Amino acid sequence: MHDGICGMGTCFGCAGPDHQRVCMKHESATAASAPADSDVLVVGAGPAGISAALDAVKSGARVTVVDNNAAPGGQLWRGVTNRRIRDFLAAPITRLFQTEVIAQPAPGRLLCQSPAEAFELGYRKLILATGSRERFLPFPGWTLPHVRGAGGLQALVKSGLEIRGKRVVVAGSGPLLLAVAKYLVGQGAEVPLIAEQCSLGLISRALMGKPSKLIQAIGFVSLAGRYRTDCWPVRAEAGSVTLRMPAKEWTEPCDYLACGFGLVANDELARLVGEAENVYSVGDSTSFGNFPLREELKSLARSDTIICRCEEVPWSKIERHHSAREAKLQSRCGMGLCQGRVCGPALEFLRGWESNRVRPPLFPAPTQNLAKKY
């Protein structure tokens, strides 16, 4: 069984032969035989999707919610039962879990798949609450088993990974690092260091005029002694990570390196359906507070550093090309199970390659699921 770096169904290890995520707890899929069309279809059952669905159902609309996890809550409320989730489960809403949207056969209709079958869902209004995922940047050793995404490690711990007594270095960029560190400490982990690549000055300017973010930062004051700015990982080896600051470099022992460089919107479905009056986006898929990434991060990868984890494509086979399309055709970079969700954002930063092209299926799909509709 593979251990996925992201812990949320993005990476190369998350699609086993039974088409289920191998790094998550699984439950039986909700039966989805002949689902009825909806007035409002919500894709995503995280906090934003739950709120949108509850507001829609108050108006008397027929509401359907689709989510690729086994239970509501998304990444933020994974494993949590709160009032909003209880209200969501009690409301007259059609809930389809372990279900992915893979294509748009026609305007106003989406092709979905569960582990059991493929089916279409029709709608009058579509609300996209597809959230975001972490940005991973390649450096020597980033594919080692003890290196995980920051939010990915948090997700795995919520799913049952034992972290008590483990030494975890949290590194990368963005407000998520502090939230993850606080959670891991609460679960009994030792977090000796939180390495933020951005400078303190840039962080301060980014938080100006954002009182909610400042309040959140104050809540992490207990971690202040472990928080270092202008600090980033340069390589990982079994049981350790080497970190760099402008004036020094050192190796820090760790059981896990939790590393992520900000967030990337899960906007593939939004780009597939295109702009329309009856399509709306909510939650993390619309905006989030990323910090600027420093230029030094572009030179960490060596010639043998893997860039595309799915197809095991090293930097030496990518750096000679001039566009994402050329690299894809010549090296298969971005053609694996994650469909470029990991290497694409990395190469956008490393090479300035922006690829807005999207085509169905949005997720790996058995041919019989596509054959039913195409």
Tell me what the mean pLDDT of segment 132-156 comes to.
96
pLDDT single digits (tens) 209-268: 665 665 566 667 778 889 999 999 999 999 999 999 999 999 999 999 999 999 999 999
Give, in order, the Cα–Cα distances in Å from 126 to each of 43, 51, 222, 276, 281.
8, 14, 42, 10, 9
Output the pLDDT for position 20: 52
For residue 242, the tally of other CB atoms under 10 A from its CB is 16
Give the SS3 label for residue 126. Answer: strand
Q: What is the pLDDT of residues 311-369, one digit of tens each?
A: 999 999 999 999 999 999 999 999 988 889 999 999 999 999 987 678 899 988 898 88
Segments forming the whole domain that contains residue 326? 298-374
Per the structure, the count of domains in the chain is 3
Do 80 and 153 lie in a common domain?
Answer: no
Specify whether the CB–CB gap between 53 and 90 falls below 8 A: no
Secondary structure E strands in the chain: 38-43, 63-66, 93-96, 100-106, 109-113, 118-128, 132-134, 147-148, 167-173, 190-196, 227-228, 232-237, 240-245, 248-253, 256-261, 263-265, 279-281, 306-308, 313-314
Is 167 domain-assigned?
Answer: yes
pLDDT of residue 75: 87
Nearest of 186, 185, 187 to residue 169 by alpha carbon: 185
Asked, for residue 220, whether it belongs to a domain, the answer is yes
What are the backbone dihedrals phi and psi of residue 305, each rounded to the nearest 5 degrees, phi first? -70, 130
Question: CA dihedral defined by 67, 72, 76, 80, rounded to 10 degrees?
Answer: -160
Could you tell me if 327 and 254 lie in one domain?
no
Q: What is the CATH number of the domain that holds 92?
A: 3.50.50.60
Do 141 and 245 reside in the same domain of the chain?
yes
Helix, strand, coil distribution of the chain in percent, nearest 5: 25, 25, 50
pLDDT digits (tens, 9 = 90+) for 124-137: 999 999 999 999 99
Q: Are residues 47 and 129 in the same domain?
A: yes
The pLDDT assigned to 111 comes to: 96
Tell me if 41 is assigned to some domain. Answer: yes
Residue 255 lies in a domain: yes
Task: Give yes or no for residue 19 having a pLDDT over 70.
Answer: no
Q: What amino acid occupies position 206?
A: A
Q: Give pLDDT, residue 227.
A: 94
* Domain membership flag for residue 4: no
